[in-house]
Structure 1
Amino acid sequence: MTTVRQALGLAATQRLLAFAINLGTTMTIARLITPAESGIYSLAVGLVAIVQMFRDFGVGEYLVQAQELTEKTIRSAFGMSLLLAWTLGGLLLGAAIPAAHFYKEAVVADVVRILAINFFLVPFGYITHALLTREMRFGTMLIIQTSSALVGSIAAIALAWCGFGAIGLAWSLVAAMLANTLMLLAVRPASVAFRPDFSAWRKIGGFGLYKTSGMLLEQLARRTPDFALSRSLGFSASGLYSRANGLADTFGDFVVGTVYRVALPQFAKIKNEGAELGATYIETYRMFACIPLSFFSFMAIYAEPVINVLFGHQWLPAAPAMSLIAIAGLLSTPVMLAAPALTATGSIDKLFQAQLVANPVQILAISIAATFSIEAVALCMCGMSVLRVVLYHRQVKRAHNVALSAVLHALLPSLAVVAGALLSPVLFLEWARTHSLPALLTASAGGAMFVAGWLACLYTFRHPYRAEIGRMYRQLRTKRS
């Protein structure tokens, strides 16, 4: 049986590899395509991502948190996944031309059609993926997802190099999904039989209705900048904002996604055993919050040299927006575990109540801000982070009786570490600007100072993560000896 620490390590390794692959791919592609091509691709992906919320319908997460699973439940999950995915894939094919007409760009239709292919592939691996997560078989998923990410990365770079632009990026996603599906088919449990059954649709559908509605609102709010900026200020503005937001999104997928994948089955296990979640919830923040707080703090300050080094000078206009988006990430830290805590313990209705207020407000605010500039949109995200902390934590308190003051208190050791680690990099950045140092030297030296300061403060302030690093170091020495 995989322990929580092992599961977290495996999930983190998979996400770290995905982060590295994604970052390397993005850095390469940013030099091969224009901001306008990036904007077209981001728009099409945003449209497809919204439809994808209906495709998933919370089926996978239902299987993860269910107290017990029967063969009929698994077959019903496959039946619902197949019916929804294929129906929505067909509708997406039909919507491609109207979307292109609305945005007055023919390439949008081609990209949407290509991305629709994934809807016809995903049901054959989706259930297996959910069961592997439930069983915390993150070693198997590490191999599968890293391999499929590499396939997608190679395809994206090759097609961008050949001048296929947004269309090439779309085909790379299809290549990654095909590789992922074939590998999941190879390891699927015997209980996953491709014989659809709908006898358990009421149980799955009740959970999925809340989950899908909430995720639909989340995706609409998340993709509103792409839609609104493309319409108001053009695809170049949309592409710049996408680049400014891309690093934060990639990091969120790596760190927050890692903890979510492990926290969901672990929180569900605590709930099914009849124990209280509050203590585990707080301790997870105490241990984990140092990582996102560190990343977003550094990115808020070093956005300009980082963008210049990673993506090239043509993307420098995105730097102010990147700084503001990083601040938004900082402000949202106190509720980054709210979704898995509410989902895993059956309080999906409470999560939906928070989403029902936060996301319409965000959509409206960003739609207005997008008529001004990408910086105005990023500033809106800062305000929305504060609103989400209030709304989401209110539901966590109702479900698990966890006070916001307890969460903020758990963040204090991490805040002390980050503040101490930033001192030297901030002073160095000011000196580098006055002496016109190259971006590569500024970013690498500032990053090295931050890491060194972070480790020093980690031990000086006796942060809980210090013990985890010491444990990993001792294990490494033991293996070498």
Structure 2
Amino acid sequence: MATLKEKTAKGFLWGAMNNGAMQILNMIFGVVLGRLLSKEDYGLIGMMVIFTSIAAALQDSGFVTALTNRKNATHRDYNSVFWFNIGVSIGLYYLFFLGAPLLSRFYDEPLLTPLFRYYSLCFLAASFSIVPRAMLFKQLRQKELAIISTVSLLVSGVVGVSMAFAGIAYWGLATQSFVYTLMVSAMSWVISGWRPSLEITMQPVREMFGFSSRMLLTNIFQQVNNNIFAVVLGKMYSKSEVGIYNQANKWNTMGTSVITGMVQGVAQPAFVEIGDDRERLCRAFSKMLRFTCIVSFPVCFGLALVAPEFITILITEKWLPSAYLMQTLCIGGAFLPISALYYNMVISRGKSNIYMWNIICQGIVMLSTILAIHFLGGDVTDMVRAYVAVIIIWTAIWHYFVWREIGFGALQAVRDILPFAAMAGMAMALAHKITDGMGNIYMLLVAKIAIAVVIYLAFVWLFSRKDMRECMAFLRKKK
């Protein structure tokens, strides 16, 4: 029987492999689609993302997290949540189908009515996978989740690219998302082995509703926070500008998702299993925080360093404006996995109310700041900088609540975070300085990456050798 430490370590490894493989596939398909499709095609999809993301949060209703926190979840619990989610999803799709013309009028874009009705099928299909995936997540079966995600992305990516080659454009992007959710649902049923029964009772749903309702409201605001730019730009700017931002955010998200996915895959269930031992929780949290930082800062700062060359080579110079937005987004992106670790600790302690109000306040501050900058005459770049500043500042706010819950001190957090941020920042600055003036864009990209990696690893070996050795020992052990 594997220990919690072994399951957590294995979960981290499979989470890294899963998210790494997914981002490689995303990059390959993104390159092809970015070359074939226009800014307007991506802009149309970007206008809908926030609404379908909110629908996904409503569909989940927070019960996945509630089931994970439930110490001895039974088939009755899972079955109740399954049928509840199916009913909610059918109702939501009906509302979205009827409300599609309103979305078209909001953006003054007639094409959105049929496209939104079709795109909304994604969360209807996804409703069938929520309970099987919740069961796999609770059991820390990251290997199975990795297989599901990777195969689904591969199949859906081939479909999306094929449709783009056929000239179907934005319909191909929508179909790619639909096929992905359909594949995830089908494979989750096969791999989990779980099946619903017709003995339906809503009692478990009622028991979990207090916790899950707060998670629901939180998830809605989380999606608003993540997609607020698409709404603001879609309403106040052109489809082309929405497309430029979406490309920048997409490539930034690919970088952050690798680390955030690792954290999300193991943090909450691991913290729940540790229980109320505050000293052990602090040790586990500190180790996870250092492991997160040792990867997050070089990956995200490195993406910022190579963004112009990366974008130009992969999806042509027409997308170069998105590279400069991407550089700013990547700075904030480095802190997202850290925030994810913090709020997973809060959730694992059963404090969904703290998680809810913190996300709501963050969303209000973000929206207010963005709108204020817009009405004061700032451009999109100014708005992105403000957005990133709020993300970074909110890391400190998350820390306060973790300190209150388990006593994890601010000084310890600084010791865990600051060295890796400083080493990554210095490595990227030196790499930029050394390669300044190189003319060949391909050589420049390779040189920046190689020099930054060597300098960063040298810094870590000199100043944080213990953490590096722990990471290497872990990787050798799990191979």
**TM-score with structure 1 length normalisation?**
0.92
Distance 2:187 2:452 in 1: 40
- CA displacement at 1:274 relative to structure 2: 7.8
Aligned to 2:71, what secondary structure does the other structure show?
coil
- CA displacement at 1:404 relative to structure 2: 2.4
**Residue identity matched to 2:53:** A
Q: Alpha carbons of 1:193 and 1:136: their partners in 2 closer, same or farther (altered >3 Å)?
A: farther
Distance 2:162 2:198 in 1: 35
Distance 1:274 1:76 in 2: 33
- CA displacement at 1:12 relative to structure 2: 1.2
Superposed CA offset, 1:369-402 (max 9, x none): 4564220221111221233123322222222222
Distance 1:171 1:336 in 2: 30
Where do 1:37-116 residues align within 5 Å? 37-116=41-120
Distance 2:120 2:199 in 1: 23
The CA RMSD over aligned residues, in Å, is 2.2
Question: Gaps spanning 5+ residues in structure 2: where?
Answer: none
What is the percentage of aligned positions where both structures have the same residue? 19
- CA displacement at 1:330 relative to structure 2: 3.8
8 Å contact kept, 1:255–1:292: yes
Aligned residue among 379, 383, 397 for 1:377: 383
- CA displacement at 1:79 relative to structure 2: 2.0
Q: Alpha carbons of 1:267 and 1:90: their partners in 2 closer, same or farther (altered >3 Å)?
A: same
Matched, 1:418 2:420: no
Deviates more, 1:236-245 or 1:447-456: 447-456
8 Å contact kept, 1:424–1:450: yes
Matched, 1:443 2:445: yes
Aligned residue among 283, 286, 289 for 2:290: 286
Q: Alpha carbons of 1:150 and 1:451: their partners in 2 closer, same or farther (altered >3 Å)?
A: same
**Residue identity matched to 2:444:** T
Deviating above 6 A after TM superposition, structure 1's stretches of 4 or more consecutive aligned residues are 272-275
Where do 1:75-474 residues align within 5 Å? 75-190=79-194, 192-193=196-197, 195-271=199-275, 276-330=280-334, 334-370=338-374, 372-432=378-438, 437-471=439-473, 474=476
8 Å contact kept, 1:60–1:126: yes
8 Å contact kept, 2:76–2:204: yes
8 Å contact kept, 2:278–2:407: no
- CA displacement at 1:154 relative to structure 2: 0.6
- CA displacement at 1:128 relative to structure 2: 0.7
8 Å contact kept, 1:232–1:370: no
8 Å contact kept, 1:44–1:111: no
Distance 2:177 2:466 in 1: 39
Distance 2:435 2:388 in 1: 24
Q: Alpha carbons of 1:420 and 1:328: their partners in 2 closer, same or farther (altered >3 Å)?
A: closer
**TM-score with structure 2 length normalisation?**
0.93
Q: Alpha carbons of 1:370 and 1:26: their partners in 2 closer, same or farther (altered >3 Å)?
A: farther
Distance 2:150 2:454 in 1: 29
The aligned length equals: 473
8 Å contact kept, 1:74–1:191: no
8 Å contact kept, 1:78–1:196: no
Match of 1:25 in 2: 29
Question: Gaps spanning 5+ residues in structure 1: where?
Answer: none
Q: Alpha carbons of 1:440 and 1:387: their partners in 2 closer, same or farther (altered >3 Å)?
A: same
Aligned to 1:337, what secondary structure does the other structure show?
helix
Q: Alpha carbons of 1:131 and 1:332: their partners in 2 closer, same or farther (altered >3 Å)?
A: closer
8 Å contact kept, 1:96–1:110: yes
Distance 2:25 2:399 in 1: 34
Distance 1:273 1:189 in 2: 34
Q: Alpha carbons of 1:161 and 1:205: their partners in 2 closer, same or farther (altered >3 Å)?
A: same
Q: Alpha carbons of 1:140 and 1:410: their partners in 2 closer, same or farther (altered >3 Å)?
A: same
- CA displacement at 1:451 relative to structure 2: 1.5
Aligned to 1:124, what secondary structure does the other structure show?
coil
Distance 1:331 1:263 in 2: 16
Distance 2:31 2:179 in 1: 20
8 Å contact kept, 1:72–1:199: no
Deviates more, 1:441-450 or 1:388-397: 388-397
**Residue identity matched to 1:214:** T
Aligned to 1:375, what secondary structure does the other structure show?
helix
Q: Alpha carbons of 1:33 and 1:427: their partners in 2 closer, same or farther (altered >3 Å)?
A: same
Q: Alpha carbons of 1:334 and 1:179: their partners in 2 closer, same or farther (altered >3 Å)?
A: closer
